Amino acid sequence: MRTPDVSGAMLPAIRDGSSLHTALDLGYRQVLLERGSLLAMLGPLASAAKQGIAIFVNLDAVEGLAPDAAALAFLATDLGFSGVVSVKPHALRDASRFRLRTVQRIHAIDSTGLETGLNGIVSPAPYAIAIAPAVALPFVMPAIRAVTNIPVWGTGFVASMEQAVNVLTAGATIVSSTRVDVWQQFARVPVP
Protein backbone atom coordinates (compact mmCIF):
# COMPACT_ATOMS: atom_id res chain seq x y z
CA MET A 1 0.00 0.00 0.00
CA ARG A 2 1.34 3.36 -0.94
CA THR A 3 -0.84 5.32 1.45
CA PRO A 4 0.87 6.39 4.68
CA ASP A 5 0.84 4.02 7.65
CA VAL A 6 0.29 5.01 11.27
CA SER A 7 3.40 6.67 12.61
CA GLY A 8 2.88 7.24 16.33
CA ALA A 9 1.01 5.98 19.33
CA MET A 10 -1.61 8.78 19.53
CA LEU A 11 -4.32 8.86 16.88
CA PRO A 12 -6.42 12.02 17.24
CA ALA A 13 -10.14 11.28 16.73
CA ILE A 14 -11.67 14.17 14.80
CA ARG A 15 -15.19 15.14 13.73
CA ASP A 16 -14.86 18.31 11.67
CA GLY A 17 -12.49 20.63 9.85
CA SER A 18 -11.57 22.53 12.98
CA SER A 19 -10.51 19.45 14.95
CA LEU A 20 -8.59 18.27 11.88
CA HIS A 21 -6.64 21.51 11.80
CA THR A 22 -6.01 21.41 15.53
CA ALA A 23 -4.53 17.92 15.22
CA LEU A 24 -2.37 18.89 12.25
CA ASP A 25 -1.21 22.10 13.95
CA LEU A 26 -0.03 20.01 16.90
CA GLY A 27 2.16 18.09 14.47
CA TYR A 28 0.16 14.88 14.16
CA ARG A 29 0.57 13.03 10.87
CA GLN A 30 -2.44 10.77 11.38
CA VAL A 31 -6.11 11.19 12.27
CA LEU A 32 -9.19 9.05 12.73
CA LEU A 33 -12.39 10.55 11.35
CA GLU A 34 -14.68 9.25 14.09
CA ARG A 35 -17.89 11.28 13.58
CA GLY A 36 -19.39 14.04 11.54
CA SER A 37 -19.97 14.37 7.83
CA LEU A 38 -17.08 13.27 5.69
CA LEU A 39 -18.61 15.15 2.77
CA ALA A 40 -18.68 18.44 4.70
CA MET A 41 -14.89 18.32 5.17
CA LEU A 42 -13.92 16.71 1.91
CA GLY A 43 -11.56 19.47 0.79
CA PRO A 44 -9.45 19.62 3.97
CA LEU A 45 -9.32 15.82 4.23
CA ALA A 46 -8.26 15.38 0.62
CA SER A 47 -5.50 17.97 0.91
CA ALA A 48 -4.29 16.45 4.20
CA ALA A 49 -4.13 13.02 2.54
CA LYS A 50 -2.20 14.55 -0.35
CA GLN A 51 0.34 15.91 2.11
CA GLY A 52 0.95 12.44 3.45
CA ILE A 53 -1.32 12.48 6.49
CA ALA A 54 -2.62 8.98 7.30
CA ILE A 55 -6.41 9.18 7.46
CA PHE A 56 -8.58 6.44 8.90
CA VAL A 57 -12.39 6.57 8.79
CA ASN A 58 -14.92 5.01 11.13
CA LEU A 59 -17.30 3.66 8.48
CA ASP A 60 -20.04 2.90 11.01
CA ALA A 61 -20.28 6.38 12.52
CA VAL A 62 -19.31 8.88 9.84
CA GLU A 63 -22.19 10.51 7.97
CA GLY A 64 -22.51 10.92 4.26
CA LEU A 65 -21.18 7.56 3.05
CA ALA A 66 -23.07 4.46 2.01
CA PRO A 67 -21.46 1.29 3.36
CA ASP A 68 -20.80 -0.03 -0.13
CA ALA A 69 -18.07 -0.59 -2.69
CA ALA A 70 -18.55 2.78 -4.39
CA ALA A 71 -17.86 4.59 -1.12
CA LEU A 72 -14.79 2.47 -0.39
CA ALA A 73 -13.43 2.99 -3.89
CA PHE A 74 -13.85 6.74 -3.40
CA LEU A 75 -11.95 6.67 -0.09
CA ALA A 76 -9.15 4.52 -1.45
CA THR A 77 -8.71 5.79 -4.99
CA ASP A 78 -9.95 9.36 -5.09
CA LEU A 79 -9.02 10.47 -1.59
CA GLY A 80 -6.01 8.27 -0.84
CA PHE A 81 -7.12 7.46 2.71
CA SER A 82 -5.06 4.94 4.63
CA GLY A 83 -7.73 2.73 6.16
CA VAL A 84 -11.15 2.15 7.63
CA VAL A 85 -12.56 1.10 11.00
CA SER A 86 -15.75 -0.93 11.26
CA VAL A 87 -17.49 -3.62 13.29
CA LYS A 88 -18.96 -5.05 10.09
CA PRO A 89 -17.09 -8.01 8.58
CA HIS A 90 -18.44 -7.47 5.07
CA ALA A 91 -17.39 -3.81 5.06
CA LEU A 92 -13.88 -4.83 6.13
CA ARG A 93 -13.67 -7.50 3.45
CA ASP A 94 -14.81 -5.03 0.80
CA ALA A 95 -12.30 -2.47 2.08
CA SER A 96 -9.40 -4.89 1.81
CA ARG A 97 -10.26 -5.37 -1.88
CA PHE A 98 -9.55 -1.67 -2.35
CA ARG A 99 -6.22 -2.01 -0.53
CA LEU A 100 -7.42 -0.01 2.45
CA ARG A 101 -6.01 -1.00 5.82
CA THR A 102 -8.81 -2.64 7.78
CA VAL A 103 -9.29 -2.11 11.48
CA GLN A 104 -11.93 -4.34 13.02
CA ARG A 105 -13.71 -2.64 15.88
CA ILE A 106 -14.64 -4.87 18.81
CA HIS A 107 -16.85 -3.66 21.63
CA ALA A 108 -15.50 -4.57 25.05
CA ILE A 109 -18.73 -4.09 26.99
CA ASP A 110 -18.71 -7.32 28.97
CA SER A 111 -17.03 -10.72 28.75
CA THR A 112 -19.84 -12.16 26.62
CA GLY A 113 -19.67 -9.34 24.10
CA LEU A 114 -15.90 -9.54 23.91
CA GLU A 115 -16.08 -13.28 23.27
CA THR A 116 -18.54 -12.72 20.42
CA GLY A 117 -16.31 -10.01 18.95
CA LEU A 118 -13.15 -12.10 19.12
CA ASN A 119 -14.93 -15.07 17.53
CA GLY A 120 -15.90 -12.81 14.65
CA ILE A 121 -12.43 -11.64 13.59
CA VAL A 122 -12.48 -11.51 9.80
CA SER A 123 -10.41 -13.43 7.35
CA PRO A 124 -8.12 -12.27 5.82
CA ALA A 125 -6.85 -11.01 9.17
CA PRO A 126 -7.46 -7.31 9.73
CA TYR A 127 -4.56 -4.89 9.85
CA ALA A 128 -5.49 -4.21 13.51
CA ILE A 129 -8.36 -4.60 15.93
CA ALA A 130 -9.72 -1.58 17.78
CA ILE A 131 -11.07 -2.18 21.25
CA ALA A 132 -13.82 0.18 22.40
CA PRO A 133 -13.85 1.55 25.03
CA ALA A 134 -10.07 1.79 25.22
CA VAL A 135 -10.25 2.21 28.98
CA ALA A 136 -11.41 -1.43 29.24
CA LEU A 137 -8.24 -2.61 27.51
CA PRO A 138 -6.27 -3.53 30.62
CA PHE A 139 -9.14 -5.88 31.57
CA VAL A 140 -9.42 -7.59 28.23
CA MET A 141 -5.90 -7.78 26.81
CA PRO A 142 -5.21 -11.31 28.15
CA ALA A 143 -8.38 -12.63 26.49
CA ILE A 144 -7.40 -10.94 23.22
CA ARG A 145 -3.86 -12.22 23.23
CA ALA A 146 -5.14 -15.74 23.92
CA VAL A 147 -6.72 -15.77 20.46
CA THR A 148 -4.75 -13.38 18.24
CA ASN A 149 -1.48 -11.49 17.84
CA ILE A 150 -2.99 -8.80 15.62
CA PRO A 151 -1.98 -5.26 16.70
CA VAL A 152 -4.51 -3.74 19.10
CA TRP A 153 -5.75 -0.17 19.07
CA GLY A 154 -7.73 1.42 21.87
CA THR A 155 -10.49 3.95 21.12
CA GLY A 156 -13.20 5.58 23.20
CA PHE A 157 -13.34 7.33 26.59
CA VAL A 158 -9.67 8.27 26.66
CA ALA A 159 -10.16 11.51 28.57
CA SER A 160 -6.73 12.01 30.14
CA MET A 161 -3.06 11.51 29.48
CA GLU A 162 -2.97 8.98 32.29
CA GLN A 163 -5.67 6.86 30.66
CA ALA A 164 -3.88 7.05 27.31
CA VAL A 165 -0.68 5.82 28.92
CA ASN A 166 -2.57 3.00 30.68
CA VAL A 167 -4.01 1.85 27.38
CA LEU A 168 -0.56 1.74 25.78
CA THR A 169 0.97 0.07 28.83
CA ALA A 170 -1.72 -2.62 28.60
CA GLY A 171 -0.38 -3.53 25.16
CA ALA A 172 -2.10 -1.30 22.60
CA THR A 173 0.07 0.04 19.79
CA ILE A 174 -2.29 2.94 19.09
CA VAL A 175 -4.54 4.94 21.37
CA SER A 176 -7.18 7.27 19.99
CA SER A 177 -8.69 10.19 21.88
CA THR A 178 -11.27 12.86 21.05
CA ARG A 179 -9.80 15.27 23.59
CA VAL A 180 -7.66 18.14 22.40
CA ASP A 181 -6.02 18.49 25.83
CA VAL A 182 -4.85 14.87 25.58
CA TRP A 183 -3.47 15.49 22.07
CA GLN A 184 -1.62 18.54 23.40
CA GLN A 185 -0.09 16.72 26.35
CA PHE A 186 0.80 13.73 24.23
CA ALA A 187 2.47 15.94 21.61
CA ARG A 188 4.64 17.49 24.33
CA VAL A 189 5.58 14.28 26.11
CA PRO A 190 5.83 11.51 23.54
CA VAL A 191 5.39 8.09 25.09
CA PRO A 192 7.26 5.19 23.53
Partner 1 sequence: MATRAIVPPVRPRALDGSVKRLEEAFRRIPVAAVIRRGEELPRALASQVPAIFFLRAPAFHLGPLVWAVQAKHKMAFVHIDLIAGLGKDRAGVTFLAREIGVNGIITSHSGLVAAARAERVIAIQRLLLYDDMALPSALSALEHARPDIVEVLPGVIYPLVVDQIRARLPLPIIVGGFVTEPGHRDAAMGRGALAISTSTSALWP
Q: Which lies closer to partner 1 via its Cβ, residue 100 or residue 136?
A: 136
Query: Is residue 146 close enough to count as binding partner 1 by CB under 8 A?
Result: no
Stretch touching partner 1 by CB under 8 A, among 2-10, 77-85, 111-119, 167-175: 111-119
Q: State the DSSP H helix or E strand holding residue 18, giving kind and residue range, or none if neither.
A: helix 17-25
By CB under 8 A, residue 119 contacts partner 1: no
Closest CA to 9 of 150, 161, 181, 159: 161
157 binds partner 1 (CB under 8 A): yes
Contact mark string toward partner 1, 59..78, x via CB under 8 A: --x-----------------
Cα 128 from chain centroid (whole Å)? 9
Give the DSSP letter of residue 158: -
**CA distance to 80, 85, 86, 139, 156, per residue, from 132 (Å):** 26, 12, 11, 12, 5
The answer to the question of residue 178 lying near partner 1 (CB under 8 A) is yes
Task: Enumerate binding residues for partner 1 (CB under 8 A).
Answer: 13, 15, 34-35, 61, 107-113, 132-133, 135-136, 139-140, 155-157, 159, 178
